[in-house]
């Protein structure tokens, strides 16, 4: 008894002191997060080398890249950031819930498709909105948007039109245009994100490297791809996956995992998207994990204020898309998403494209505002303005797809 009363305050004080030191050194609360927007204050950093395997070998051919380094990197991204990607399900079915062959004054054929996936006695529905141009007779190259904003953006009646998904422009350019909403896969909410794809894979929730919301959205993009493979009006070899911001983090992860996507576009995706984490510019891992703890896996929390310990950085995610074309874009006022860090991430993926003899035409330094570089397997632009997805962006996405699909107008 005597011993306890003497020991307790000492023990208690030591514990308090340790807690304070711990909070000061590594875990500042979210409200104290001050983003750095000063290039001078970017710390020195060394990126992990995309061509150096974990056992210290240098990759010199696309064969070694594909056989050993690529799978190794995919696993690192699964384990440390985005979580596992379930590879199988029991069954899938597709039904057309609404159709209009003379939509957009006859220019487009609207199909609303319900994709239903079954696994472990549970099922999930994805509602796809799809417009196919009527003026072309061959299977249509197709853009698919991961919609993370209002469902009004993809209004099938076209009473509401939005720059976020300017369907008429795509149809006039000869592309089919599709979209699904992230809420069908995982509500974008800390309390409810598990009420979607994770119902089909409940074991993921208890795994530290398990799938979470962004993984669920990416998994959904692949189920839409499953549908595209069955629709003869769609050219399954020319599918362009597009995502904005959190949707852009998702388009990268989906395209890295699923090589059926022919082109990947990531708009203003920033932290844990296309921007390098080690620059610590704008949003940081600690901030994203605090505000959106349900986007990435549990292991990712280890890298809060600890970017240099990550075994990967985002240039490696870009590299996982090679040799397929990738286009990352930013907005000049959106420093939170680090336009320069995004450009550098693309630059550092160039060695992997070079293994395929694909030469990037990116300049040595970031191009000026509204100076897109699209005739390149790795493309970039920094649009003037705010964090958004606009007609300017889409017009350049079309130029990029035209260039790579060799479509001449």
What is the smallest separation between the CB atom of 135 and ligand GTR, expressed in angstroms? 35
Is 251 in the active site?
Answer: no
What is the smallest separation between the CB atom of 217 and ligand GTR, expressed in angstroms? 11
> What is the Cα–Cα distance from 333 to 248, expressed in whole angstroms?
18
Residue placing its CB nearer to ligand GTR in the complex, 181 or 236: 181
| Radius of gyration of the chain, Cα coordinates, nearest whole angstrom | 22
Site for ligand GTR (CB under 6 A): how many residues?
A: 7
> What is the Cα–Cα distance from 197 to 202, expressed in whole angstroms?
9
Active-site hit among 216, 245, 286, 360: 245
- Closest among 126, 52, 66, 106 to 348, alpha carbons compared: 52
111 binds ligand GTR per the rule CB under 6 A: no
Structure tokens at 76: 């690192």
For the segment 215-274, give every residue that binds ligand GTR (CB under 6 A): 245-246, 270-271
Is 345 in the active site?
Answer: no
Give the Å distances, CA to CA, from 316 to 55, 70, 224, 275, 380: 17, 9, 25, 11, 17
What is the smallest separation between the CB atom of 274 and ligand GTR, expressed in angstroms? 11
What is the smallest separation between the CB atom of 317 and ligand GTR, expressed in angstroms? 15
What is the smallest separation between the CB atom of 401 and ligand GTR, expressed in angstroms? 23
279 binds ligand GTR per the rule CB under 6 A: no
- φ/ψ region of 142 (left if φ > 0, alpha if ψ in -120 to 50, else beta) reads beta
Structure tokens at 64: 């070694």
288 binds ligand GTR per the rule CB under 6 A: yes
Residue placing its CB nearer to ligand GTR in the complex, 269 or 360: 269
283 binds ligand GTR per the rule CB under 6 A: yes
> What is the Cα–Cα distance from 173 to 400, expressed in whole angstroms?
12
Number of H helices and E strands in the chain, helices first, is 11, 9
Residue placing its CB nearer to ligand GTR in the complex, 333 or 402: 333
- Closest among 178, 208, 215, 207 to 87, alpha carbons compared: 215
399 binds ligand GTR per the rule CB under 6 A: no
Question: Where do contacts with ligand GTR occur on this chain (CB under 6 A)?
Answer: 148, 245-246, 270-271, 283, 288
Catalytic residue numbers read: 245, 387
């Amino acid at each position: 008894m005597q011993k306890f009363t003497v020991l307790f305050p000492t023990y208690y004080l030591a514990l308090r002191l340790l807690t304070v030191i711990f909070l000061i050194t590594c875990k500042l609360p979210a409200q104290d997060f001050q983003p750095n927007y000063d290039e001078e204050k970017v710390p020195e950093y060394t990126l992990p080398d995309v061509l150096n395997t974990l056992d210290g070998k240098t990759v010199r051919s696309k064969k070694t890249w594909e056989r050993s380094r690529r799978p190794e990197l995919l696993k690192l991204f699964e384990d440390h950031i985005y979580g596992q990607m379930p590879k199988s399900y029991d069954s899938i079915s597709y039904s057309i819930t609404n159709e209009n062959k003379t939509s957009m004054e006859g220019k487009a054929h609207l199909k609303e498709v319900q994709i239903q996936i079954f696994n472990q006695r549970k099922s999930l529905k994805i509602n796809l909105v799809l417009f196919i141009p009527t003026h072309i007779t061959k299977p249509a190259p197709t853009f698919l948007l991961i919609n993370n904003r209002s469902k009004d953006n993809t209004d099938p009646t076209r009473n509401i039109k939005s720059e976020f998904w300017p369907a008429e422009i795509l149809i006039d350019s000869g592309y089919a245009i599709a979209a699904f909403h992230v809420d069908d896969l995982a509500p974008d909410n800390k309390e409810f994100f598990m009420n979607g794809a994770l119902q089909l894979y409940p074991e993921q929730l208890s795994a530290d490297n398990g799938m979470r919301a962004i993984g669920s959205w990416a998994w959904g993009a692949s189920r839409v791809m499953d549908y595209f493979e069955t629709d003869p009006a769609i050219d399954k070899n020319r599918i362009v996956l597009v995502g904005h911001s959190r949707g852009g983090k998702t388009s990268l992860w989906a395209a890295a995992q699923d090589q059926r996507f022919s082109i990947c576009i990531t708009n203003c995706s920033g932290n844990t998207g296309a921007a390098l984490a080690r620059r610590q510019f704008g949003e940081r891992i600690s901030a994203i994990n605090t505000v959106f703890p349900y986007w990435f896996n549990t292991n990712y929390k280890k890298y809060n204020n600890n970017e240099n310990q990550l075994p990967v950085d985002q240039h490696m995610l870009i590299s996982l898309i090679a040799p397929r074309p990738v286009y990352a874009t930013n907005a000049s006022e959106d420093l939170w998403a680090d336009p320069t860090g995004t450009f550098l991430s693309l630059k550092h993926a160039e060695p992997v494209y070079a293994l395929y003899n694909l030469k990037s035409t990116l300049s040595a330094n970031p191009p000026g505002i509204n100076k897109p570089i699209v005739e390149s397997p790795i493309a970039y632009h920094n649009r003037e303005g705010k964090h958004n997805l606009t007609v300017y962006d889409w017009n350049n996405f079309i130029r990029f797809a035209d260039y790579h699909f060799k479509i001449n107008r």
